Amino acid sequence: MKKLINAIDDVVKEQLEGMAVAHPDMLKIHFDPTFVVRADAPVQGKVALISGGGSGHEPMHGGFVGKGMLDAACPGEVFTSPTPDQMYEAAKAVDGGAGVLFLVKNYTGDVLNFETAAELAFADGIKVQSILIDDDAAVKDSLYTAGRRGVGTTVLAEKIVGAAAEAGYTLEQCADLARKVNKYGRSLGMALTSCTVPAAGKPTFELGEDEFEIGIGIHGEPGRERLHMKTADEITEMMALAIIEDGAYSRTVREWDNEAGDWVEVELVDPPLQSGDQVIAFVNSMGGTPVSELYAVYRKLAEICNDKGITIVRNLIGPYITSLEMAGCSITLLKADDEILKFWDAPVVTPGLRWGA
Amino acid sequence: MVTRDQIVQWLEATATVMTENREYLTQLDAAIGDADHGINMTRGFNKVMEKLPSVADKDIGNILKTTGMTLISSVGGASGPLYGTFFMRSGMALASKEELTDDDLFKMLKTGVEGIVQRGRAQLEDKTMFDAWSPALDAMQAAIDNGQDTKGSMKAAVDAAEQGMKDTIPLIARKGRASYLGERSRGHQDPGATSSYLMLKALLDTLEK
């Protein structure tokens, strides 16, 4: 293992200390428990947006804390979910009286820890809502697995819902919008190499020199299949078609009911993409793949979307939800209506995303 | 009758047994999960050990709730909230108790497991810790109904938990990270069912001392 590390136990802490020094105008870092908050938190009367998860996906989530996006981010150890005390203390720090929305990527650890935090925050008199992001089209069914994982759509949801909260949306409106973004977003990832978690010291999995894995998760979870290396165009086509031709996806999720003070089961169905849809296209690097290759992927993706009658109206290209130094990329297509586009275009000032201001 | 000292000794014994099985649990997890179960459980119960002296003279409900809160904030992953909820719920059910009758002991485990199920939504044969807990509770209930004493009914629970743990080997995982492996999750013993068995075994060993 060759990494820019001082001590393995300090990896997450020192990264956060660096962020605090680099971006004091945007965010502050709190330790024990660990969370990142907007510099001007709490913003009175505004719904507060909180996300979090294991570290190693930078700039997500800490790099998306700031005006127009997240109010707080709760980083766990590398690839390990944060604990409820982090989300609970973060909720208390950023609640401006309008309630707190948790955006949670669908991983069992993240879900259980965020659910526990929601109960603690509610018991403390904070209005709370929790929306799951589960957009990884590589996972076919939810009946026999923990369901689709939360991947690329998370970044887009944080941007869009963050802007809506800034514009004065209520907690319920923010939750509805987050649910809609998740419903309209689909992603697929692929890996060219593995990555090494510092505490493990060796690669998470082995991938041969002439192989790639399609459908991989952002922690190296197994994908759909492992194949012999192909060209950028061929791989892009496999990924794009897996998203565009993906059927309706249904599952039951739990959401918090502030009236009942308990969890309720909600049945959700994501409709497939259709010819005539407008989309935001997001081509993301897993960390090790250069932007030049992402543009090669985007070039082919745009051609395929065009052939399928899907219009790309906005794009985002670069490393935003990574897996340490893993080489590979993911594609996310988010069907965009006027509401989604309006908030996508709204100003954002964070270390990781910045425009319009 | 189970005393407050025995409950504290049980938690200490659990910390010891988790530390002893740190590598074993982590290896089981490496096969179908993310290779951190032993590390996380050891870290969590070591934190409980740090907290115990400050609550060791409180009632049993308080001790269990403190254990739950400590695990929730230190274990992480899925097992933190699951074991944390187990102790929080059992603590609430035994509020202000200074000692436990056989019925109380059963209630402690049963309400704890109900908390696990509520949090994790696991069903039998999903290849989770519930596959150890469920037969353990059934066997314990049957033993109590047959007039067995505390140790006898605990022994029945531990034997059933051990069998339930072993019975997870041929199962396909339907919950957690292992579920993405599908067929490839067969042939491996569930790490959560294993740590649950170890925890119950530690309770029996404490009562038999």
Shortest distance between the Cα of B60 and any Cα of chain A, in A, equals: 22
The residue in chain B having the minimum alpha-carbon distance to the alpha carbon of residue A146 is B175
CB hemisphere CA count around B207 (13 angstroms): 20
Residue A142 clears pLDDT 80, i.e. is over it: no
Best residue of A9, A83, A221, A226 to probe chain B, by most B CBs closer than 10 Å: A83
Q: What is the CA radius of gyration of chain B?
A: 16
**Residue B118 contacts residue B110 (beta carbons within 8 Å):** no
For B:60-119, CB contacts with A below 8 A are 72-78, 80-82, 84-85, 119
Distance of alpha carbon B103 from alpha carbon A6, whole angstroms? 53
Q: What is the pLDDT of residue A68?
A: 98
Inter-chain CB proximity B119 and A112 less than 8 Å: yes
Inter-chain CB proximity B175 and A107 less than 8 Å: no
Mean pLDDT across chain A: 96
Specify which residues A262 forms β-bridges with: A257
Lowest mean pLDDT among A54-63, B32-41, B65-74, B189-198: B32-41
- Report the pLDDT averaged over residues B132-140: 98
Residue A302 confidence class, pLDDT cut points 50, 70, 90: very high
The distance in angstroms from the start CA to the end CA of chain B is 14
Distance of alpha carbon B35 from alpha carbon A177, whole angstroms? 36
**Strand A72-78 relative to strand A48-55, pairing:** parallel
**Residues on chain B touching A84 (C-beta within 8 angstroms):** 72-73, 81
Best residue of B119, B130, B177 to probe chain A, by most A CBs closer than 10 Å: B177
Lowest mean pLDDT among A1-5, A79-83, A217-221: A217-221
B180 touches chain A (CB under 8 A): yes
Residue B42 clears pLDDT 80, i.e. is over it: yes
Identify the CA nearest to B52 among candidates B40, B63, B41. Answer: B63
Distance of alpha carbon A160 from alpha carbon A335, whole angstroms? 13
The residue in chain A having the minimum alpha-carbon distance to the alpha carbon of residue B123 is A144
CB hemisphere CA count around A239 (13 angstroms): 35
Residue A57 confidence class, pLDDT cut points 50, 70, 90: very high
Which among B80, B176, B180 is the nearest to A113, CB-wise? B80
Lowest mean pLDDT among A34-38, A132-136, A272-276, B37-41: B37-41
Structure tokens at B110: 């049963």
**Residues on chain A touching B176 (C-beta within 8 angstroms):** 108, 146
Please say if A23 is a catalytic residue: no
**Residue A174 contacts residue A266 (beta carbons within 8 Å):** no
- DSSP state for residue A184 in the 8-state scheme: H
- Report the pLDDT averaged over residues B34-50: 92
Identify the CA nearest to A268 among candidates A142, A156, A158, A150. Answer: A142
Q: What is the pLDDT of residue B113?
A: 98
Specify which residues A268 forms β-bridges with: A251
Inter-chain CB proximity B34 and A81 less than 8 Å: no
DSSP string spanning A192-212? SS--B-TTT-SBSS---TTEE
**Residues on chain B touching A323 (C-beta within 8 angstroms):** none
Q: What is the pLDDT of residue A289?
A: 98
DSSP string spanning B179-208? GGGGGGGTTS--HHHHHHHHHHHHHHHHHH
Helices B150-166, B102-120: inter-axial angle, 10-degree rounding: 30
Q: How many beta-carbon pairs under 8 angstroms link A with B? A: 72
Inter-chain CB proximity A200 and B77 less than 8 Å: no
Inter-chain CB proximity B81 and A82 less than 8 Å: no
CATH of domain B2-208: 1.25.40.340
The residue in chain A having the minimum alpha-carbon distance to the alpha carbon of residue B183 is A144
Which one of the listed residues A23, A61, A219, A228 is annotated catalytic?
Answer: A219
Residue B200 clears pLDDT 90, i.e. is over it: yes
Shortest distance between the Cα of A285 and any Cα of chain B, in A, equals: 23
Inter-chain CB proximity B72 and A84 less than 8 Å: yes
B47 touches chain A (CB under 8 A): no
B36 touches chain A (CB under 8 A): yes
Residue A345 clears pLDDT 80, i.e. is over it: yes
A14-185+249-271 topology per CATH: Rossmann fold (3.40.50)
The residue in chain A having the minimum alpha-carbon distance to the alpha carbon of residue B179 is A145
Q: What is the pLDDT of residues A69-87, one digit of tens each?
A: 999 999 998 998 999 999 9
Cα A340 from chain centre: 16
Specify which residues A132 forms β-bridges with: A104
Domain limits, chain A: 14-185+249-271, 187-244+274-335
Q: What is the pLDDT of residues A145-166, one digit of tens each?
A: 889 999 999 999 999 999 999 9
**Residues on chain A touching B40 (C-beta within 8 angstroms):** 80
Specify which residues A129 forms β-bridges with: A101
**Residue B201 contacts residue B4 (beta carbons within 8 Å):** no
Burial (CB count <10 Å: 0-12, 13-18, 19+), residue B52 = middle
**Residue B179 contacts residue A144 (beta carbons within 8 Å):** yes
- Report the pLDDT averaged over residues A165-178: 98
Residue A298 clears pLDDT 80, i.e. is over it: yes
Lowest mean pLDDT among A14-28, B10-24, B31-45: B31-45
Give the containing element (helix H, strand E) for A296: helix A291-307
Structure tokens at A40: 């001007």
Residue A188 confidence class, pLDDT cut points 50, 70, 90: very high
Q: Strand, coil or helix: what is A174?
A: helix
Contacts of B208 (CB under 8 A, 6+ apart): B151
How much is the pTM? 0.92
For B:134-163, CB contacts with A below 8 A are none
Residue A307 clears pLDDT 80, i.e. is over it: yes
Which among A33, A84, A144 is the nearest to B81, CB-wise? A84
- DSSP state for residue A100 in the 8-state scheme: E
Shortest distance between the Cα of A85 and any Cα of chain B, in A, equals: 6
B21 touches chain A (CB under 8 A): no
Inter-chain CB proximity A200 and B35 less than 8 Å: yes
Inter-chain CB proximity A80 and B78 less than 8 Å: no
Q: What angle do CA B59, B63, B68 make, to 5 degrees?
A: 145
Q: What is the pLDDT of residue B164?
A: 98
**Residue B51 contacts residue B197 (beta carbons within 8 Å):** no
**Residue B188 contacts residue B30 (beta carbons within 8 Å):** no
CATH of domain A187-244+274-335: 3.30.1180.20
CA–CA distances in Å: residue A217 to residues A103, A106, A236, B81, B179:
18, 11, 17, 23, 13
Which among A80, A116, A200 is the nearest to B77, CB-wise? A80
- Global ipTM: 0.85
Distance of alpha carbon B72 from alpha carbon A153, whole angstroms? 28
Cβ neighbours of B5 (radius 10 Å): 11
Residue A222 confidence class, pLDDT cut points 50, 70, 90: confident
Q: What is the pLDDT of residue B186?
A: 95
Lowest mean pLDDT among A137-146, A166-175, A324-333: A137-146
Residue A193 clears pLDDT 80, i.e. is over it: yes
Which one of the listed residues A23, A30, A57, A228 is annotated catalytic?
Answer: A57
Please say if A30 is a catalytic residue: no
**Residues on chain A touching B73 (C-beta within 8 angstroms):** 33, 83-85
